Amino acid sequence: MATTLISVLQNLRETKVWKSVFRRGPANTNRTRSLAVFGNLFLHWLPVKVREKSLRVRASYYLGSISFILFIVLLVTGILLMFYYHPAAPQAYRDMKDLQFVVSNGVLLRNLHRLAAHLMVLAVFWHMFHVFYRRGYKPPHEFNWVVGVVLLLVTLFLSYTGYLLPWDQLAFWAVTVGTNIISAMPFVGAKIRFLVLGGNIVGENALLRFYVLHVVILPLIAFLLIGVHFWRVQKDGGLTVKPKDGDGKE
Amino acid sequence: MTYAKNSSIPEASGSVHAENELTRRDFLNEITLGALGIAGLGSVAVTYQFFSPNVLFEPSMTFRAGNPDLYPVNSVTFLQDQLVYIVRMPEGFYAVSAVCTHLGCITTWHPERDLIECPCHGSKFKQDGTKVAGPAPRPLPHFAISLTADGDLLVDKLQNIKPAQVLKV
- CATH number at B69 reads 2.102.10.10
Q: How far apart are CA B142 and CA B113, in angstroms?
A: 21
**Per-residue pLDDT for chain B (169 aa), expressed as one digit of tens each?**
556 556 666 655 555 556 778 899 999 999 999 999 999 999 999 999 999 999 888 888 899 999 999 999 999 999 998 899 999 999 899 999 999 998 888 999 999 999 999 998 999 999 899 999 999 999 999 999 999 999 899 999 888 898 888 888 7
Q: Cβ A180–B56 below 8 Å, yes or no?
A: no
Q: Cβ A201–B120 below 8 Å, yes or no?
A: no
* Domain co-membership, B153 together with B78: yes
A201-243 per-position pLDDT tens digit: 899 999 999 999 999 999 999 999 999 999 998 888 777 666 6
A181 contact residues in B (CB cutoff 8 A): 103
Q: Which domain holds residue B81?
A: 62-161
pLDDT of A5 above 70: yes
Closest Cα in chain B, distance from residue A210 (Å): 13
Residues A169-195, mean pLDDT to the nearest whole number: 91
CA angle A225, A229, A232 (to 5 degrees): 135
Using a CB–CB cut-off of 8 Å, the residues of B that contact A are 48, 51-53, 56-58, 61, 103-105, 120
Residues A74-98, mean pLDDT to the nearest whole number: 96
Classify burial at B46, counting beta carbons within 10 Å of its beta carbon; exposed 0-12, middle 13-18, buried 19 or more: exposed
Mutate to test the interface with A, among B47, B48, B58, B97 (most CBs of A within 10 A): B58
Question: Domain for residue B78, yes or no?
Answer: yes
* Domain co-membership, B113 together with B37: no
* Domain co-membership, B42 together with B67: no
Residue pair B111/B103 in contact (Cβ under 8 Å)? The answer is no
Mutate to test the interface with B, among A169, A170, A176 (most CBs of B within 10 A): A176
SS3 B99: strand
A48-67 per-position pLDDT tens digit: 778 888 888 888 889 999 99
CA angle A33, A41, A144 (to 5 degrees): 95
B48 contact residues in A (CB cutoff 8 A): 195
CA angle A148, A151, A156 (to 5 degrees): 130
Please report the pLDDT score of residue A24 as a whole number.
Answer: 78
Q: Which of B52, B72, B97 lies at the terminal end of a domain, its last residue?
A: B52
* Domain co-membership, B75 together with B153: yes
Closest Cα in chain B, distance from residue A220 (Å): 20
Of A176, A177, A203, the CB nearest to B58: A203
Beta partners for residue B110, in sequence order: B115
Please report the pLDDT score of residue B7 as a whole number.
Answer: 60
Strands (E), chain A: none
SS3 A118: helix
**Pairwise pLDDT comparison (B156 vs A46), residue with the higher score:** B156
Phi, psi of B164, rounded to the nearest 5 degrees: -70, -20
Question: Domain for residue B148, yes or no?
Answer: yes
Residue pair B147/B135 in contact (Cβ under 8 Å)? The answer is no
Shortest CA distance from B59: residue in chain A:
A201
Shortest CA distance from B82: residue in chain A:
A201
Q: Cβ B58–A180 below 8 Å, yes or no?
A: no
Please report the pLDDT score of residue A144 as a whole number.
Answer: 94
Radius of gyration of chain B, Cα coordinates, nearest whole angstrom: 33
Question: Domain for residue A47, yes or no?
Answer: no
Q: Which domain holds residue A207?
A: 59-240
Question: Domain for residue A160, yes or no?
Answer: yes
Size of interface A-B (CB pairs under 8 A): 33
Closest Cα in chain B, distance from residue A191 (Å): 9
B105 contact residues in A (CB cutoff 8 A): 173, 176-177
Q: State the CATH number of the domain containing residue A182.
A: 1.20.810.10
Question: Domain for residue A49, yes or no?
Answer: no
Nearest-10 crossing angle of helices A142-164, A169-182: 130
Q: Cβ A194–B105 below 8 Å, yes or no?
A: no
Shortest CA distance from A204: residue in chain B:
B57
Nearest-10 crossing angle of helices A63-82, A218-235: 160
Of A173, A179, A195, the CB nearest to B52: A195
Question: Domain for residue B74, yes or no?
Answer: yes
Residue pair B118/B100 in contact (Cβ under 8 Å)? The answer is yes
Question: Domain for residue B81, yes or no?
Answer: yes
* Domain co-membership, B101 together with B157: yes
Q: Cβ A173–B120 below 8 Å, yes or no?
A: yes
* Domain co-membership, B82 together with B47: no
Please report the pLDDT score of residue B115 as a whole number.
Answer: 93
Report the side by side order of strands in the sheet with B92-97.
Answer: B62-64, B153-161, B142-147, B92-97, B84-89, B75-79
pTM: 0.80
Question: Domain for residue B80, yes or no?
Answer: yes
* Domain co-membership, B91 together with B119: yes
Closest Cα in chain B, distance from residue A181 (Å): 7
Shortest CA distance from A172: residue in chain B:
B105
SS3 B94: strand
Please report the pLDDT score of residue A116 as a whole number.
Answer: 97
Question: Domain for residue A29, yes or no?
Answer: no
Sign for the CA dihedral angle at B95, B98, B99, B102 comes to positive
Closest Cα in chain A, distance from residue B148 (Å): 26
Q: Cβ A203–B104 below 8 Å, yes or no?
A: no
Q: Are strands B62-64 and B92-97 parallel, antiparallel or unpaired?
A: unpaired
Question: Domain for residue B137, yes or no?
Answer: yes
Q: How far apart are CA B89 and CA B93, in angstroms?
A: 6
Lowest mean pLDDT among A20-29, A165-174, A218-227: A20-29
Q: Cβ A199–B53 below 8 Å, yes or no?
A: yes
* Domain co-membership, B31 together with B66: no
Secondary structure (DSSP) of B21-41: PPPHHHHHHHHHHHHHHHHHH
In total, how many domains does chain B have? 2
CB neighbour list of residue A249: distance below 8 Å, 6 or more residues apart: none
Closest Cα in chain B, distance from residue A198 (Å): 6
Q: Cβ B104–A177 below 8 Å, yes or no?
A: yes
Number of H helices, E strands in chain B: 1, 10
Q: How far apart are CA A85 and CA A30, in angstroms?
A: 49
CA angle B162, B163, B168 (to 5 degrees): 100
Residue pair A85/A96 in contact (Cβ under 8 Å)? The answer is yes
CB neighbour list of residue A238: distance below 8 Å, 6 or more residues apart: A47, A50, A51, A54
* Domain co-membership, B84 together with B48: no
Closest Cα in chain A, distance from residue B110 (Å): 22
Per-residue pLDDT band at A77 (split at 50, 70, 90): very high
In total, how many domains does chain A have? 1
Lowest mean pLDDT among A47-51, A129-133, A178-182, B68-72: A47-51
